[in-house]
Amino acid sequence: MKKLFFLLVIASTLYSCGGGSRGELIGVQPREDWIQYNPYGMNYIHFGSFVMGGNDQDVPYAQVNDKKRITVSAFYMDDTEITNNEYRQFVYWVRDSIAHRYLGEAGIGEHVIEEDQYGEFIDPPIINWEERIEWDGEDERMELADMFLPEYERFYRRKEIDTRKLRFEYYWVDLKAAAAKSGRDLDLSYTNTKGQSNAIQGHSDRSQFIIREVINVYPDTLAWVHDFTYAFNEPLTEMYFWHPSYDDYPVVGVTWNQAKAFNVWRTQILSEYRIGNGETIFQRFRLPSEAEWEYAARGGLQNSPYPWGGPYIRNILGCPLANFKPQRGDYVDDNGTMTVDVMSYEPNNYGLYCMAGNVAEWTNTAYDESVYEFSHDLNSEYQYDALADDPPALKRKVIRGGSWKDVYFYLQNGTRTYEYQDTAKCYIGFRSVMSYLGRGKAGNPEDWN
């Protein structure tokens, strides 16, 4: 009893003196020891400055890539283009989400969770991913009938998922619009999934900046046909996205909007996993800015025309260094006719594969011919979220890297061109990036992985 009394006296004394802080300013304690590891399949790109823009003759004399020195903060980038199999994980997740909701509404199994641990009703219900869907089960097959093609649309009576119904719904906050209209006279906060408050100041109603998007996620497999009118590419239309032989090939036929939705989903599944383990979330996945893409493509080599240095497109043994169109009518001199495995050829100094050739890649940047003239020299970026009824010129997004169908000029680090955000092409894919939280990793670059 004396010992217990003594401990109570000590605790009371510490509390009266300001707890463990002894009355000093020490911040909120305890806090998590934050160590940010490389997300799976991504390489760390250290911050730095470089001269952005063309390093060779401007062949079309377009004058849209003037030289400009800029600085880029540290970030992570996928070491390969997103593959068919990786994107298929997204498609299957959307498919299963819709199926779970069908089955939950039908009352078959525990496919959705409608109450929390306290018996409170959850609206909308949460998908119970532990309850697997039996796609061949008789009861479930009947309830999921609406997800399949109607009989009059089936080919040889094959029961196939109606891909038109694979729609993904998500939300995002337009911070630029909020910042542009901020009056600083009010303080409205929103709370993220960790219960942490984030202020959007100067607005009485933040809902005006919450954007809802609903998008079909299935790639346009017909891109192989409609991109080349007088050519026979039907086998790729029929097989490219789903056949195992193409699992490690880059996904194509994906619009800029679909690539954006993929990154939202990718962020969600990682965040939910970390929250479930009591861990703090990472930054979100996103498309790279044009500046980030070019900085990563150069691999730390200043003024190099190609990711491997340059100025040649073959190595000392005469082997091609990328997948592109070497000359008119000859697609095979580079050891590939169309797309190839995403880890083909040698990576650049940052360990990134196919930053030149294979497929051109979407960036987050809106295309403007004079962007180098007005963009900032720190983390340069120009964004415009085009609406459906906007004119086509406002829907242009920068693509980089060139593709299997392009001549060598488009493979150069500084060459920029564009495509429309709502179009899908058989020669355009993408890869994701994630901002590094903090100044950047220090020490030996060999330890950055």
Pick the range with the lowest mean pLDDT from 2-11, 67-76, 150-159, 214-223: 2-11
**What percent of the chain is predicted at pLDDT more than 90?**
51
pLDDT, mean over the chain: 85
- Looking at the predicted structure, is the pLDDT value of residue 74 above 50? yes
> Which pLDDT does position 246 carry in this prediction?
97
- Looking at the predicted structure, is the pLDDT value of residue 160 above 80? yes
167 forms beta bridges with 216
Q: What is the pLDDT of residues 390-416, one digit of tens each?
A: 999 999 999 999 999 999 889 999 999
> Which pLDDT does position 358 carry in this prediction?
96
CA distance 54 to 50: 12
> Which pLDDT does position 359 carry in this prediction?
97
Pick the range with the lowest mean pLDDT from 33-47, 58-72, 254-268, 380-394: 58-72
Q: Which tokens sit at 334?
A: 């580079």
- The residues near 121 (Cβ < 8 Å, ≥ 6 apart) are 114, 115
CA distance 321 to 352: 13
Quote the DSSP letter at residue 327.
B
As a dihedral over the C-alpha atoms of residue 406, residue 412, residue 417, residue 418, rounded to 10 degrees, the angle is 70
> Which pLDDT does position 194 carry in this prediction?
45
129, 46, 61: which is closest to 349 by C-alpha?
A: 46
> Which pLDDT does position 346 carry in this prediction?
92
> Which pLDDT does position 207 carry in this prediction?
85
Distance of CA 396 to the CA centre of its chain: 18
- The residues near 370 (Cβ < 8 Å, ≥ 6 apart) are 64
Q: Where are the domains of the chain?
A: 2-31, 43-83+228-449
CA distance 355 to 411: 8
CA distance 215 to 84: 19
- The residues near 292 (Cβ < 8 Å, ≥ 6 apart) are 45, 72, 75, 77, 363, 433
Q: Which tokens sit at 423?
A: 């179009």
CA distance 331 to 147: 40
> Which pLDDT does position 158 carry in this prediction?
84
Note whether 262 and 83 are within 8 A (CB): no
- Structural domain 43-83+228-449, CATH architecture: Alpha-Beta Complex (3.90)
Give the mean model confidence (pLDDT) for residues 48-73: 80
Of residues 208 and 164, the one with the higher pLDDT is 164
Amino acid (1-letter code) at residue 51: V
- The residues near 249 (Cβ < 8 Å, ≥ 6 apart) are 83, 84, 240, 339, 340, 341, 342
CA distance 305 to 403: 16
327, 325, 328, 306: which is closest to 315 by C-alpha?
A: 306
Rg (CA), the chain: 26
Query: Which helix (H) or strand (E) covers residue 68, if one does?
Result: strand 68-72
Q: How confident is the model at residue 443 (pLDDT cuts 50, 70, 90)?
A: low
- Looking at the predicted structure, is the pLDDT value of residue 265 above 90? yes
Pick the range with the lowest mean pLDDT from 8-12, 133-137, 322-326: 8-12
Is the dihedral angle over the CA atoms 14, 20, 23, 29 positive or is it negative? Answer: negative
Per DSSP, the three-state class of 298 is helix
How many C-beta atoms surround the C-beta of residue 41 within 10 A? 15
Give the mean model confidence (pLDDT) for residues 204-229: 91
Q: What is the pLDDT of residues 177-201, one digit of tens each?
A: 888 866 544 444 444 444 444 555 5
The CA-to-CA distance between both ends of the chain, in Å, stands at 55
CA distance 411 to 144: 46
CA distance 290 to 368: 12
CA distance 284 to 263: 8
> Which pLDDT does position 385 carry in this prediction?
87
Is the dihedral angle over the CA atoms 237, 241, 246, 251 positive or is it negative? Answer: positive
Helix axes 256-276, 84-106, angle to 10 degrees: 70
CA distance 367 to 359: 19
- Looking at the predicted structure, is the pLDDT value of residue 287 above 50? yes
Per DSSP, the three-state class of 225 is helix
